[in-house]
A = this chain, B = another copy of it.
Amino acid sequence: MLQNEKTIRSEKIFQGKIINLRLDTVQLSDEKEYSREIIEHSGGAAIIPITEDNKIIMVRQFRKPVEDFLLEVPAGKLDKGEDPLVCAVRELKEETGYEAKDVKFLFSFYSSPGFSNEMLYLYVAKDLISGEVNPDEGEYIEIESYSIDELLNMIYNGEIKDGKTITAIMAVKDFLF
């Protein structure tokens, strides 16, 4: 029998710039209390820029939590109250220099709902216009572009390791190719 989890107590452990951590104590129908460790995140937007010759523009950057240079679709964190579409277009411009005349929403999803409320909104961008990049301070990014078949191979051989990027590539394959 499914049941929701009633919050008995909630304790703020940490308030950061990217994430907050709180500990909720919940009670279930067995009358027992359980602890839930919860990361609060404002969410993010990711965008798949597709060129006229069907290459996908990707960004490579160092990710401290995994100590690796990951190849990803352009993406970033929502500012407080920001429309995900506005965020996606802003991150595309900042990270790759491109603007797009045609941006479509695909779908949204939780990155890791077992411990976090981060929701990611996924967009596809076409009719691209190139321009100057403008990364955030402390953000070092390289731009690479690949065909959809190259990217699918890079998922199965382990070269692409970022979940939202794998979702994005497969969605584009399913949706557009």
Q: Which residues of A contact B (CB under 8 A)?
A: 1-5, 13-14, 16-19, 21, 23-24, 26, 28, 30, 32, 34-39, 41, 44, 60-70, 77, 106-120, 137-138, 140-142, 152, 155-156, 158, 160-164, 166-167, 170-171, 173-174
Complexed CA–CA distance, A111 and B41 (Å): 14
- Complex: chain B residue closest to A120, CB-CB: B163
Q: Is the CB of A163 within 8 A of B158?
A: no
User: Counting chain B CB atoms within 10 Å of each CB, which of A5, A70, A142 scores highest?
Assistant: A5
Partner of A66, one of B44, B110, B174: B110
In the complex this chain forms, how many copies of it are found?
Answer: 2
CA distance A41 to B112 in the complex (A): 11
> Are A109 and B163 also in contact (CB < 8 A) when A114-B18, A138-B34 are?
yes
User: Closest residue to A158 on the B side, CB-wise?
Assistant: B107
Whether B113 pairs with A112 at a CB distance below 8 angstroms is no
CB <8 Å contact, B163 and A174: no
Whether A118 lies near B112 (C-beta < 8 A) is yes
| Nearest-Cβ distance from residue A5 to partner chain B, whole angstroms | 5
Closest chain-B Cβ to A67's Cβ sits at a distance in Å of 7
Contact A65 B116 (CB under 8 A): yes
